[in-house]
């Protein structure tokens, strides 16, 4: 149960997919994300096949570059999308220098648990606003 007494939005099979996608993203970030400067965002996608709300279909975990004076920092965001040309819910979870960001994502609490909580919130938000 969630803090609001609801069943979790993600089944265990989807939680396993999310954990695997986050692990792949961290591995790629170590190779593809520079300490400073611009770069193409690094993304890992996975299908959410057992989400409680049937319209929710895709998850995108993404690390991208900061801009301007924050060019040495990187952001990590979570995007949950409905099928087709539907809606998207996006949340920035972390904004830090590359090494610190990778450490945050490897940590159980600030990495996987925070990511899963953001996905749960996004699915609930999409359900309230889109999937009625």
What per-residue confidence (pLDDT) applies to 56?
A: 77
Per-residue pLDDT of the chain (132 residues; tens, 9 = 90+): 445 555 566 788 888 999 999 999 999 999 999 998 899 999 999 988 766 665 778 899 999 999 888 888 999 999 998 876 678 889 999 999 999 999 999 999 999 999 999 998 888 888 777 544
What per-residue confidence (pLDDT) applies to 47?
A: 86
- Coil, strand or helix: which one is 123? helix
The angle subtended at Cα 94 by Cα 92 and Cα 96, nearest 5°, is 130
What per-residue confidence (pLDDT) applies to 50?
A: 66
Answer yes or no: are the C-beta atoms of 46 and 25 closer than 8 Å.
Answer: no
How far is residue 57 from each of residues 8, 46, 72, measured CA to CA in Å?
16, 9, 33
């Amino acid at each position: 149960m969630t803090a609001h007494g609801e069943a979790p939005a993600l089944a265990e099979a989807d939680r396993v997919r999310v954990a695997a996608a986050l692990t792949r993203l961290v591995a790629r970030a170590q190779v593809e994300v520079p300490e400073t400067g611009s770069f193409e965002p690094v993304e890992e996608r996975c299908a959410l096949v057992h989400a409680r709300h049937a319209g929710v279909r895709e998850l995108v975990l993404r690390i991208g570059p900061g801009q301007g004076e924050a060019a040495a920092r990187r952001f990590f965001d979570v995007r949950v999308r409905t099928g087709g040309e539907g809606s998207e819910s996006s949340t920035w979870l972390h904004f830090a220098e590359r090494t610190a960001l990778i450490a945050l994502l490897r940590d159980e609490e600030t990495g996987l648990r925070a990511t899963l909580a953001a996905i749960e919130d996004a699915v609930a938000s999409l359900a309230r606003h889109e999937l009625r």
